[in-house]
Structure 1
Amino acid sequence: MGYFHYTDLNAIYSMLTNKNLRLTDIRYLNDSMELREGVTKLLDVIHQIQPNENSAQEYFDKAKSYLEQGLKDSIDGGVSEDPIFVFSLSNQADCLSQWRGYGMYAIEFDPEVLREEVGRIYKCEYDNASKVKLVMEKLNHAVSEVSLDMRQNYGCNNESIEVLSDLIAFSTTLKSTGFNEECEYRVIASSSLSGFSDNVKYRVRGDILIPYFEVPISLNCIKSITVGPIKNQSLAFNSLYEFVKKIERVHQLEIGNIEYEIDVNRSEIPYRE
């Protein structure tokens, strides 16, 4: 099973020529409520977390308060010093709702190679019962980790910050059941903990500057590109095919492997005016 990123032709061209992924600040995605909804689920449950027999009540309570405040700060609508950036993927090939929602080109990645190059890839959860179970497990672990951190070194050090950042990243995988057809996976990163805080860039979308940063990849993780159900699909396919083969030949020489190739495909969904 591959991972597919649905997007426009400009993004495909950029990925092939610059060899990077653009992770976008989650606050500026199409669904502006995504982060708030996920964090709200965590805030609704964190009060239910109880200490175990090995927990010191004082530090356990302080850990819960620290995490609760950090979660609230992440959705306060203000300027963030440590925003979360994401790159969205789907395990659905040639999916009509994806073509309609995100763009008429899809780039397919090899999951194993992509993980080696960008790190963990998070699976989004849509089922409400599964979300409740995952939230409880995640919060229990987070509170215990921060409580131990405070007990060993009173006050919050980097380990507590990392736990909070991971908890916020996890919250972005809790999605509405209405989006379950997308079968989404995500590359998720905090700009500061990933070492990209000084490399945040901006692109224009309408009247807003959209923050993003780039994560380098190799062409080895790219398996195919599909042209969606667009007008003049054959013409678009032909020029894309020629471009990809040019990129492919250069990479074959660079890695010394003439068998390397990127497939170029057409969507089987018919185009309709």
Structure 2
Amino acid sequence: MTDCFYHYTDAETALKILTKKELWMTHISYLNDTQEGKDLREHLNPKVNNPEIHKILDYIDSHYESYVCSLSKNGDLLSQWRGYCPKGEGYAIGFRQPNFENKEREACFRGEAESNNDAAHAAIQVSEYHRCIYGEEEKESIIEELAEAFEADYKEMPNDIKSIVSQLPKAPLNWKALNGHLNNGLWLKYYSYFKLIFKDETFKEEEEYRLFIIFHNQYKQTPCYRVKKGVFIPYHRFCFNDDIFKEIIVRKTPNEKLSHEGLSHYLKHNKGMTEEKIKDFIKISNIPYRE
């Protein structure tokens, strides 16, 4: 398996990604899967008997906002071409895993610019693309461990934090103390993490990997907004350098030759690529399907 992760898109968006060097991480409530973020809780609820633990999980669900960018491990999949690209066009942009060694992670995740500092300050910022989990057997194994860990952690929870939990679902007066406990322990680290990578098995073919960022809604963070089908959709930007691009697969279309030539022209004049490098960088889909 190549160490490459693909984002399927149209020509206009591909040009923006290559030029602006950013991917948009969409608020989880606005993704196309209507069950997004619900699968973990549905598996977990029957395993947790303590009502106070359910209060904590309800609090996390209602007070933390997640933003997700989705990629596929498969760069040439018919269902992806059909699902994410308009008729007669399509590009699968291949990305390497992000490298934060020479750049602070916080500087890579950005919302709407504010003066000279628009970096995001989040509860959780992952540093690589994470594999989504589809199989029931793997999910059940994780759920058993999570349920046991939550029970154990609640027993050891300081009394002042238990007292705050007892106030829920009313807004706790000392919410910062509760957030501090959740951020430093397993609650956000594991519950929010698996909440974002548990997916229904019907989506398994996509081989999805995710990059995500999570905020508490009491802390100031200013997302960007785009409009789709009459809806304002919040998103944050994942910003990167040119070295994250590994390859681009061009969809087979009646215009594939011209698409290849236009992309080559762009890469030569805007990315400084040599003809030899462009030859290795651009690939044509192996799927002989033309709409």
- Secondary structure (helix, strand or coil) at the match of 1:141 reads helix
Q: For 1:18-97, list aligned pairs within 5 A.
A: 18-47=20-49, 61=50, 64-70=53-59, 73-74=61-62, 82-97=64-79
Q: What per-residue deviation string (whole Å, max 9, x for no partner) do you get for residues 9-34 of structure 1? A: 23322221111221001111111222
Question: Is 2:48–2:54's contact at 8 Å kept on the other side of the alignment?
Answer: no
Mapped partners of 1:157, 1:94: distance in 2:
42
Q: Does 1:14 align with 2:16?
A: yes
Q: Do the aligned partners of residues 9 and 136 (structure 1) sit closer, same or farther apart at CA in structure 2, a change above 3 Å counting?
A: farther
Following superposition, the deviation at residue 232 of structure 1 comes to 1.0
Q: 2:180 aligns with which of 138, 142, 158?
A: 158
User: Paired residue for 2:83?
Assistant: 101
- Higher mean C-alpha deviation, range 13-22 or range 126-135: 13-22
- Secondary structure (helix, strand or coil) at the match of 1:239 reads helix
Unaligned stretches of 5+ residues in structure 2: 106-125, 165-177
Question: Is 2:7–2:70's contact at 8 Å kept on the other side of the alignment?
Answer: yes
Q: Does 1:111 align with 2:101?
A: no
Matched to 1:266, the amino acid is: I
Question: Is 2:26–2:235's contact at 8 Å kept on the other side of the alignment?
Answer: yes
Matched to 1:32, the amino acid is: T
RMSD: 3.1
Matched to 1:6, the amino acid is: Y
Mapped partners of 1:219, 1:63: distance in 2:
47
User: Paired residue for 2:115?
Assistant: none
- Secondary structure (helix, strand or coil) at the match of 1:272 reads coil
- Higher mean C-alpha deviation, range 128-137 or range 158-167: 158-167
Q: What per-residue deviation string (whole Å, max 9, x for no partner) do you get for residues 68-109 of structure 1? A: 3225x44xxxxxx53211111111121111111122211111
- Secondary structure (helix, strand or coil) at the match of 1:189 reads strand
Q: Does 1:216 align with 2:218?
A: no
User: Paired residue for 1:264?
Assistant: 282
Following superposition, the deviation at residue 168 of structure 1 comes to 2.7
Unaligned stretches of 5+ residues in structure 1: 48-60, 75-80, 253-258
Following superposition, the deviation at residue 183 of structure 1 comes to 1.1
Mapped partners of 1:143, 1:188: distance in 2:
27
- Higher mean C-alpha deviation, range 162-171 or range 119-128: 162-171
Q: Do the aligned partners of residues 234 and 69 (structure 1) sit closer, same or farther apart at CA in structure 2, a change above 3 Å counting?
A: same
Matched to 2:193, the amino acid is: A
Question: Is 1:63–1:147's contact at 8 Å kept on the other side of the alignment?
Answer: no
- Identical aligned pairs, as a percentage? 28
User: Paired residue for 1:124?
Assistant: 132
- Higher mean C-alpha deviation, range 32-41 or range 138-147: 138-147
Q: What per-residue deviation string (whole Å, max 9, x for no partner) do you get for residues 171-217 of structure 1? A: 12111221111111111211349x8x523011111111111110211
Mapped partners of 1:41, 1:249: distance in 2:
50
Q: Do the aligned partners of residues 3 and 208 (structure 1) sit closer, same or farther apart at CA in structure 2, a change above 3 Å counting?
A: same
Q: What per-residue deviation string (whole Å, max 9, x for no partner) do you get for residues 205-253 of structure 1? A: 1111111110211111110111113331111121112112223218x9x
Q: What per-residue deviation string (whole Å, max 9, x for no partner) do you get for residues 111-139 of structure 1? A: 26489866043211111111111122234
- Structure richer in helix, relative to its length: 1
TM-score, length-normalised on structure 1? 0.77
